[in-house]
């Protein structure tokens, strides 16, 4: 599931559509401050992980990471709080069941 908005992303919509485990990750007990206090332009939810692009173009992911879906640099199986992926700006992306793909501002996948 991917959702793109022009303003603030309402995370409650995603919770209602996908279930809390799918949006926030396995064992998630509540929204992280970074997840609700920022302006988001896009978000994608996989089976048990989520990635989003903030208004400043940075990419953030959290949730299950057993297959590296949150990011190759993170070795833990579960990433509880959102972590920034890379240092560049991102323009789009999508999360699948156990994978994530994103397009950088320079059009590199």
Whether 109 is covered by a domain: the verdict is no
Q: What is the Cα–Cα distance from 56 to 29, expressed in whole angstroms?
A: 27
Identify the sign of the CA torsion 83, 88, 92, 96: negative
Whether 35 is covered by a domain: the verdict is yes
Residue span of the structural domain in which 73 resides:
2-104
Give the largest Cα separation in the chain, rounded.
36
The alpha-helical segments, DSSP class H, found in the chain are: 11-18, 20-24, 33-36
Whether 38 is covered by a domain: the verdict is yes
pTM across the whole model: 0.68
DSSP H or E run through 20: helix 20-24
Whether 82 is covered by a domain: the verdict is yes
Q: What is the pLDDT of residue 101?
A: 92
- The strand pairing partners of 85, in sequence order, are 59
Q: What is the pLDDT of residue 95?
A: 92
pLDDT digits (tens, 9 = 90+) for 82-102: 889 988 999 999 999 989 999
How many folded domains does the chain comprise?
Answer: 1
Whether 9 is covered by a domain: the verdict is yes
């Amino acid at each position: 599931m991917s959702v793109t908005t022009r303003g603030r992303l309402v995370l409650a919509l995603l919770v209602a559509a996908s279930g809390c485990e799918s949006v926030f990750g396995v064992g998630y007990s509540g929204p992280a401050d970074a997840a609700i206090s920022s302006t988001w332009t896009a978000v994608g939810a996989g089976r048990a992980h989520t990635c989003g692009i903030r208004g400043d173009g940075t990419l953030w992911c959290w949730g299950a990471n057993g297959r590296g879906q949150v990011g190759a640099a993170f070795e833990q199986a579960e990433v509880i709080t959102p972590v920034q992926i890379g240092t560049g700006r991102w323009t789009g992306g999508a999360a699948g069941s156990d994978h994530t793909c994103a397009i950088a501002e320079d059009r590199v996948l």
